[in-house]
Amino acid sequence: MKVPFVDLQAQYVSLSSAMEGAIADVIQKNAFIGGPYLKEFEKSFAVFCGVPHAVGVSNGTDALRLALLGCGVGPGDEVITTPNTFIATAEAIAMIGAQVRFIDVDPETGNMDPKNLKGALTPRTRAIVPVHLYGRPADMSAICQFAQTHHLKVVSDAAQAHGALFQGKPIGQWGDAASFSFYPGKNLGAYGDAGAVVTNSPEVAAQVALLRDHGRTQKYEHKILGFNCRMDGLQAAVLSVKLPHLAEWTRQRQSHAKRYEDLLASTAGIRLVKNRAGAESVAHLYTILCDDREALRSHLTSRGIETGLHYPIPLHLQPALSSMGFKPGDFPVAEAWAQNVLSLPLFPELTEEQLVYVAAALNERVRVC
Ligand SMILES: Cc1ncc(COP(=O)(O)O)c(C=O)c1O
């Protein structure tokens, strides 16, 4: 049997007529940049996130970059984040001229460990960027408490966590702003690149809206120097077709994750990543930890099962960041995760048969050993 890592085609088939109608509408109305489709999507995504403001932008990296700028973070500031994430988290910080300060992650969750915040604090620290990795919220209570004590901004990288809750509260409501990616494989995926910033603050929302569109207040008038980070009307229309289904897709993802958890509970040689108390994951990825990752991965490949690695090189050891001077051993927990992580197929349309097949292949491998 073949089990793909994600199956975007299965989702398209279920939405094809609504999707084609929505795309045709945008073309007929020539609403290619911004416009009514964007406004409609922003309104419904804000409601989905439980916040008053959502600003649609070009992708998740720009969303984080503009959210930080919108919160007043900029050149010369230090921003604390973790090395166990996608490169975009650090890129967004570096692109605004701020300095990345890494701290090690929690060995149980792979997310930011709030205990390490104090050690990274300097007089130049301005913000914290927790990443809600795999759709599992970081400990926002401890992080926001620390930020409040030290007068820091909190901007979540929620690229993988549409709809996640921490202590019953949507993650977009924690801190100053949150950035989302709508890259096609995300829980809510566009048909190209797109992203959004959500915030409780009208000032932050207004600043992000200015920054994404050349600082434009009206035609030919530019209040500040900004960027071209706008969301296409086509992407907004695609996202508006998908958004009403997101809660159900998330429920299906969560149910598959629970099924994996039950089927793999006593599988030797692997460790399951548990949810922290109070953290409701939206199961973007189902990632396990295993000692002999490469052997296990090849075994699954030989059985027709696609897997992913999120992420095999921690950011402090990425060639792109070598000028920061880090070496192996600097963030041992993140490094251990990078060596051991293995993401299993997980998407709403995954069937019980596929899921049981993946779990059986994992158990079979352990028997072979
Ligand atoms: C944690 C994280 N941050 C940021 C991004 C960047 O999003 P985009 O690819 O939409 O720029 C991603 C996308 O993969 C991500 O997973």
Which tens digit of pLDDT belongs to each residue from 113-136? 999 999 999 999 999 999 999 999
CA of 86 to the centre of ligand 1 (A): 6
CA of 129 to the centre of ligand 1 (A): 13
Name every residue whose Cβ is closer than 8 Å to that of residue 26 and which is 6 or more positions away in sequence.
32, 37, 233, 234, 237
Residues 240 and 250 in one domain: no
User: Around 64, how many Cα atoms within 13 Å sit in the side-chain half-sphere?
Assistant: 29
Ligand 1 pocket: which residues have CB below 6 Å? 59-61, 85-86, 88-89, 131, 157, 159-160, 181, 183, 193, 195
CA of 176 to the centre of ligand 1 (A): 19
Residue percentage of the chain with pLDDT more than 90 = 96
Whether 3 maps to a domain, the answer reads no
CATH number (domain holding residue 14): 3.40.640.10
Specify the pLDDT at position 369: 45
Residues 13 and 106 in one domain: yes
Domain that holds residue 330: 246-368
Residues 240 and 185 in one domain: yes
Residues 139 and 212 in one domain: yes
Whether 54 maps to a domain, the answer reads yes
- pTM, full prediction: 0.97
Place of tokens 């988290």: 89
State yes or no: pLDDT of 238 exceeds 80.
Answer: yes
Residues 355 and 340 in one domain: yes
Q: Which atom of ligand 1 is nearest to the CA of 183?
A: 10
Q: In the structure, what pLDDT confidence band is assigned to residue 276 with cuts at 50, 70 and 90?
A: confident
Among the candidates 220, 245, 270, a domain finishes at 245
Q: Among candidates 102, 104, 174, which has minimal Cα distance to 137? A: 174
Residues 290 and 231 in one domain: no
Instruction: Output the 3-class SS for the chain.
Output: CCECCCCHHHHHHHHHHHHHHHHHHHHHHCCCECHHHHHHHHHHHHHHHCCCEEEEECCHHHHHHHHHHHCCCCCCCEEEECCCCCHHHHHHHHHCCCEEEECCECCCCCCECHHHHHHHCCCCEEEECCECHHHCCCCHHHHHHHHHHCCCEEEEECCCCCCCEECCEEHHHCCCEEEEECCCCCCCCCCCCCEEEEECCHHHHHHHHHHHECCEEECCEECCCCCECECEHHHHHHHHHHHHHHHHHHHHHHHHHHHHHHHCCCCCCEEECCCCCCEECCCCCEEEEECCHHHHHHHHHHCCECCECCCCCCHHHCHHHHHHCCCCCCCHHHHHHHHHEEEECCCCCCCHHHHHHHHHHHHHHHHHC
CA of 60 to the centre of ligand 1 (A): 5
**Average pLDDT over the chain, rounded to an integer:** 97
Among the candidates 186, 220, 245, a domain finishes at 245
Q: Which atom of ligand 1 is nearest to the CA of 88?
A: 4
CA of 108 to the centre of ligand 1 (A): 22
Residues 300 and 173 in one domain: no
User: Residue 289 corresponds to which tokens in the numbers above?
Assistant: 């930890």
Mean pLDDT of 259-273: 95
Q: Which of 5, 57, 64, 86 to mutate to test the pocket of ligand 1 (most atoms within 8 A of CB)?
A: 86
Residues 93 and 217 in one domain: yes
Which tens digit of pLDDT belongs to each residue from 284-320? 999 999 989 999 999 999 999 999 999 999 999 999 9
Specify the pLDDT at position 355: 98
Residues 174 and 278 in one domain: no
Specify the pLDDT at position 88: 98
Q: Which of 82, 129, 160 to mutate to test the pocket of ligand 1 (most atoms within 8 A of CB)?
A: 160
Q: Which atom of ligand 1 is nearest to the CA of 185?
A: 14
Crossing angle for the helix pair 233-242 and 8-29, to the nearest 10 degrees: 130
